[in-house]
Structure 1
Amino acid sequence: MKFLYALLIIFPVLSANAQQCGRSFEEVPVSCIQNLSSNFEKLEKREQKRIETLERAIEENKEGNVIKLAEIEKDLIFMFDRDIEKTRKEYEDKIFLFQSATGLYGKLIIKSISKTVGSTKEETKSTCSMFINSVVFGPKGSEIVKNVTLSIESIAGAWSVDRVSLDEKGTDFVLRREHGICVFKRVNAYAFPYKKFIQEEEEGKVILLYFGLFLIGLSIFLVARTIFQDDERYKAKEKLEDAEVDEKRETPNDFVLKYSRPFFKRYFTPVIMGMKGRRKIKEKYKRTLASSGMNKFLSPEDFYAFKLFLIIGFPIVYLGLRSFLEVEEDWPLSLTPVISIAGFFYPDVWIKGKIAQRQKEITLSMPFIVDMLALSVEAGLDFVAAMQRVIEKAPPSPLVDEFETMIKETKIGLSRAEALRQLSWRVDTLPVASFCATLISADAVGADIAPILKTLAKEIRQKRSSMAEQEGAKAATKILLPMIFITLPAVLLIIAAPMVMKLMGGE
């Protein structure tokens, strides 16, 4: 129950945190910057990756313009464009959050940017200047407010440098000239546009909001169902479950199912049991679970509850790992709905894999078991006794388990023909269907089944051999593409490389 109530709390809390930051310079409080402080490191790592990419390009290409670009963009906040109006439009009144050289958090806004280009005739100087307002939040609620003008000019062809310390203890930023461009750069501070911080926080916000509303609605529904369901009925159901055989309470060796089962059995299955469409769910998944052998562990209602639970379970695990591993940049929030959808369809993919694996094991073990059955019948045992003998002596396999289920069904009153039909329905493979149909026909006319079983074993072996040949033929086709796109180019490279190197050496 605590788990469900937690879902009701998470998203309102997230929404409240999102409202702490304003849009204008005056509306950005210290609490907002402190909440966003973890993004300094993320954005710095992203910036380092970008510079490293440029540096790799330098090593590979050795192009002067690439070298210039890497040098200019390292620690860059913004550059003065040749079209100064374009620079003003982009950066004037733009807010930056920063961490000073001494580790204090602050905010700054660029109020004005100007640039003049000197004329030789008039002997005027070229200048680049900017005016900024800044607030540094000190300890115990103190603030350091500064209005700073940074200006550089060319003197005898050489440009001056202007530095600023916003917390009055170390150089934070510098305005200087690099490769013919005026640039405003970080020195010992970290500074990034306020919009980048907000984007980090609001990434996938709209999608997450709708997803959160869905989870809240689902949680309220489940809580209501748990509170208002018939207690007597639930207690009776628990007593029936306790009376079940131990094998039905065991959980198969599957990580997701093992740790999800306690939750969906307690909170989701009761909801499914009370749904009007329960019969359709049962009809849809009953045979699927029987074919996979999972009907001993999961009812159709349990399986559908498993699917619904993973709509919530997968995103919770994703968000938890995202926070714990500190990989928010690489694992975006916008993937959460996709992961939720993947959670709903995961049980279907998992159960199909179980069915394919089980059917393969049955097909492989069938000739040996049918031979044992034929020998037992020839030795004088009736069909049921012969099958019981096979169950005792044959190595464990899904087919042996199915024979055991069939024996139990005959003991509770089902006819042999009906038990065989149920076996064919559960396993849902062609060899078993053929085996059951042949035995039902032989039983109807009273024929001796020993030679029939021998013939069946022979046919099953032949079919298995033909299937192996078909798989071999498919393998030849599948390996063709890797040979064309991987092996052949490598061979051509080995053959052609010496000739190319020889020609290059000759030149």
Structure 2
Amino acid sequence: MKKWGYHIILLVLTILTLFAPTQTLAQTARYENLSSRELVQLLNEECERGQMANCYEAGQMYMGAESEASKSKGRKLIQKSCQGGHENACEFLKGGLARDTGSDLLFYSSIGLIGLAVYLVTIMMFQDEEEFKASEKLEEGGKKSGPTENYGIVLRYSKPFFKRYVTPIVSTMKSKKKIKDKYKRKLASSGLTDVLSPEDFFSFKIFLIVGFPIVFFGVRVFLEEDWPLSMIPIIAAVGFVYPDIWIKGRIQMRQKEVIMAMPFCVDMLALSVEAGLDFVAAMTKVVEKAKKTALSEEFETMIKEIRIGASRAEALRNLAWRIDLIQTSSFCATLIAADSVGASIGPILKALSLEIRQKKSSEVEKAGATAATKILFPMLFLIVPAVFIVVAAPIILELVTGPK
């Protein structure tokens, strides 16, 4: 019964929220059957009665005419509207607006954002606290999620809200499986598995559709700026795309960290195996002795998988799947092949270590060779003009002023 009441209240609030815009559309519909001359006359009459919005509308229509007299009359009407307190008229005079109040895109985007905000606020008011805590424990197995301090200010301050109010909605969506399939590997490659689930990540994207425009509007009011409100749909779109850009950057950064750490970790793994340790013990030794990096974290995850019953081949495949790099895939494939035929992995690890170091050296040499080409354009456009000015300026001045 409680759930039925909740849905009824939500429906009523959403209808009330969307009712005002439809009333506006109904008011504008009565102008559709009027000719341009009749519409201008009607707007002028309402302008004389003190309707500043109609003064602005009439001014806009006069400004669209070709004659200078009509444009001059349009400017006067817009100035009158601005003096009467119409903000859009003042923004138009400052150059902030190209034409009427808001485009259709702004209008309908605002309706959508308001509806979404009402939906979220209603959930905040009526969602059962105990039910949320129980579902959270059920999904996470009673474990606390990882800290968000090291993952950026946006995630840090957004997570309490979208985790509490948006994720429960996403978890009930029919496309939940598609969301998991789409974001599971990205989260694993970026090392965010303990921080965000696929549902959390999609909730993060949805939350920022509303969050970014709210921040924009708050900054606009606080700084008393006249930034055009037509930017709100663009900012909402940026909010939806931002998490994808952010996680892509984290994946690239983590992959570079893995490449940098591979030579040392594989060397140490080879030495540990040759010293008589088995594969799991050698991996444990690498995790203990190596500097804490993305690769050591992945090795630690692989050790846990083996200890809870996964085979060595399965754990190595999962490692290659998570990191998603050619180097690690080759490393894991070689070890899986050696394990399948029962070969000793000591010599294989030693050969892999040598190969990885040689590849890294060749990549460093390649980067050094391309550095000269990359620095050519800054030199050509920044350093050379400055040197030319310093050398040629005295000569030019002497030629212009003449010898003393």
> Smaller-chain TM-score range?
0.7 to 0.9
1:28 equivalent to 2:50? Answer yes
Aligned residues with identical type, % of pairs: 53
CA deviation vs aligned residue, 1:297-343 (integer Å, no higher than 9, x gap): 11111111111111111111111101101122xx3222211111111
Aligned to 1:451: 347
Going from structure 1 to structure 2, the CA distance change for 1:498 and 1:280 (only over 3 Å counts) comes to same
Measured in 2, the distance between the counterparts of 1:208 and 1:240 equals: 41
Aligned to 2:288: 392
* Larger radius of gyration between Structure 1 and Structure 2: 1
Measured in 2, the distance between the counterparts of 1:367 and 1:93 equals: 72
Aligned to 1:175: none
* SS of alignment partner, residue 479 of structure 1: helix
* SS of alignment partner, residue 94 of structure 1: helix
CA deviation vs aligned residue, 1:162-212 (integer Å, no higher than 9, x gap): xxxxxxxxxxxxxxxxxxxxxxxxxxxxxx989749977965464332111
Query: Which residues of 2 match residues 304-343 of structure 1 at below 5 A?
Result: 304-328=202-226, 331-343=227-239
Aligned to 1:143: none
* SS of alignment partner, residue 48 of structure 2: coil
* SS of alignment partner, residue 298 of structure 1: coil
Runs of 5+ in structure 1 lacking a partner? 33-84, 100-104, 108-191
- One-letter amino acid of the structure 2 residue matched with residue 282 of structure 1: K
1:94 equivalent to 2:76? Answer yes
Q: Is the 8 A contact 2:287 2:300 kept in 1?
A: yes
- One-letter amino acid of the structure 1 residue matched with residue 171 of structure 2: M
Q: Decide which of 266, 273, 277 is 1:381's aligned counterpart.
A: 277
- One-letter amino acid of the structure 2 residue matched with residue 476 of structure 1: A
Measured in 1, the distance between the counterparts of 2:197 and 2:269 equals: 32
Q: Decide which of 366, 376, 388 is 1:492's aligned counterpart.
A: 388
Going from structure 1 to structure 2, the CA distance change for 1:336 and 1:206 (only over 3 Å counts) comes to same
Measured in 2, the distance between the counterparts of 1:326 and 1:453 equals: 64
Going from structure 1 to structure 2, the CA distance change for 1:396 and 1:89 (only over 3 Å counts) comes to closer
Aligned to 2:35: none
What TM-score does the superposition give when structure 2 sets the normalisation length? Answer: 0.76
Measured in 2, the distance between the counterparts of 1:423 and 1:194 equals: 57
Measured in 2, the distance between the counterparts of 1:488 and 1:194 equals: 45
Measured in 1, the distance between the counterparts of 2:91 and 2:206 equals: 39
Going from structure 1 to structure 2, the CA distance change for 1:98 and 1:478 (only over 3 Å counts) comes to same
- One-letter amino acid of the structure 1 residue matched with residue 137 of structure 2: K
Q: Decide which of 289, 292, 306 is 2:187's aligned counterpart.
A: 289
Aligned to 2:256: 360
Q: Decide which of 300, 304, 309 is 1:404's aligned counterpart.
A: 300
What TM-score does the superposition give when structure 1 sets the normalisation length? Answer: 0.62
Runs of 5+ in structure 2 lacking a partner? 1-5, 7-12, 28-42, 54-66
Query: Greater strand percent: which structure?
Result: 1
Query: Which residues of 2 match residues 183-262 of structure 1 at below 5 A?
Result: 196=93, 203-204=101-102, 206-219=104-117, 222=120, 234=132, 236-241=134-139, 243-246=141-144, 248-253=145-150, 254-262=152-160
Shift of 1:26: 3.4
Query: Greater helix percent: which structure?
Result: 2
CA deviation vs aligned residue, 1:213-257 (integer Å, no higher than 9, x gap): 1113334555677899999975541232574333x2422421000
Measured in 2, the distance between the counterparts of 1:209 and 1:408 equals: 53
Q: Is the 8 A contact 2:258 2:293 kept in 1?
A: yes
Q: Is the 8 A contact 1:286 1:300 kept in 2?
A: yes
- One-letter amino acid of the structure 2 residue matched with residue 263 of structure 1: F
CA deviation vs aligned residue, 1:8-42 (integer Å, no higher than 9, x gap): 879969x99xx9xx864433379x9xxxxxxxxxx
Aligned length in residues: 357
* SS of alignment partner, residue 275 of structure 1: coil
CA deviation vs aligned residue, 1:117-146 (integer Å, no higher than 9, x gap): xxxxxxxxxxxxxxxxxxxxxxxxxxxxxx
Measured in 2, the distance between the counterparts of 1:357 and 1:93 equals: 55
The CA RMSD measured in Å over matched residues stands at 3.9
Q: Decide which of 447, 471, 479 is 2:367's aligned counterpart.
A: 471
